[in-house]
A and B are shown apart, each in its own frame.
Chain A
């Protein structure tokens, strides 16, 4: 749905949230450690994380009393899916071409 996509891009339309995503790209982090990397307050970071989580860009698990956040693989996999689709199409075209000219110029 368009609304979903809007939510995802809007979620990334904030400099702090972009930085959170960049930090989590280096690996999962508990909220406290993540917040320590920012000058804004921990509640503010939690708020940003909720927005990112609603947009399916990050997810969390609970470890004891801590919430550990990480990137939601689906957010990244969309890029992977695109690359996958691109190479499928490109290699189809390549195969056609290389077989078409296969007899030319061969020793």
Chain B
């Protein structure tokens, strides 16, 4: 994997261990994503009613909105249940769907069985530098009233720290 300079770290890594089998853990994470996905996180124009992840190569990741529309925000790049999957995170800095995979970051999730019926979930949100290329568009995000506005609050908070 090559990550272009100069961004020092363009991958976010998270690991958790849950008391469930890999099959169950994989299923809840993907097919049943609606049961746990934060309702605040979508890029639709009206409140989100459902999160959907289509479990197959090329499957869509999208949300259903109160106004009846569907809002794509990702697609499945690797589908290997119950061990791992990769999805493109197709959200640009204007909080719009990004059709170009070369400008999308990726979420790689791996499920590893552990002793006593536990499963470790390792998540990598990588290639954030691809979003960074469009950092100029952050300005329009400032005006975005969408559910992702929390990002801006945090962006601002971070900017304050940096200042």
Contacts and interface: CB of A to CB of B under 8 A. Distances in A.
Interface string A73-107: 11111111111111111110111111101100110
Nearest to A55: B159
A5 B36 contact: no
A18 to B, nearest CB: 3
Interface string B113-137: 0000000010101001101111111
A21 interface: yes
Interface string B83-109: 000000000010000000000010000
B2 interface: no
Contacts of B137: 18
A30 B42 CA distance: 39
A26 B36 contact: no
Contacts of B93: 79
Contacts of B105: 83
Q: Tell me what chain A mostly uses at the interface: helix, strand, loop, or mixed.
A: helix
Interface string A32-61: 000000000000000000000000110000
Contacts, number: 149
B7 A73 contact: yes
What size tier do the contact residues of chain A reach?
35 or more
B154 A85 contact: yes
Interface stretch (B21-29, B52-60, B64-72, B73-81): B21-29
A17 B6 contact: no
B136 to A, nearest CB: 3
Contacts of A19: 136
Contacts of A75: 135, 162
Contact of A76 (B21, B38, B135, B160): B135
Interface of A: 1, 4-5, 8-9, 12-13, 17-19, 21-22, 24-28, 56-57, 70-71, 73-91, 93-99, 101-102, 105-106
